[in-house]
Structure 1
Amino acid sequence: MARKPVHLTMKRGKATGRQAVWEAIRRRREFSLNDLWHDTKQERDTIRSYLTALRRGGYVEETGVRPASNGIVGSKHKNAIPMKLFRLARDIGVEAPRLKRDGTPCAQGLAQEAMWRTMKRLPDFTFRDLAVMSRTEEVPVTEAAAKDYLKHLSAAGYLVVVQEGNAHRLASYRFVKARNTGPRAPMIQRLKTVFDPNLCEVVWQEEVSE
Structure 2
Amino acid sequence: MTIHLYGASFSTCTRRVAAVAKEVGVEYVLHPIDFAKGEHKAPAFIEHQPFGQIPYIVDDANDNFELYESRAIARYLVNQYGAKSGLIPTDAKKLAKFEQAASIEASNFDAHAATVAFEKLFAPMKGLTTNEENLQKHLAQLHAKLDAYEVILGKSKYLGGDEITLADIFHLPYGYVLTKSGFADTLVNEKRPNVTRQEL
Do the structures match in fold with TM over 0.5?
A: no
Greater relative CO, 1 or 2 (CA 8 Å, sep 6+): 2
TM-score, structure 1 normalization = 0.25
Identify the structure with the greater strand proportion.
1
TM-score, structure 2 normalization = 0.26
Identify the structure with the greater helix proportion.
2
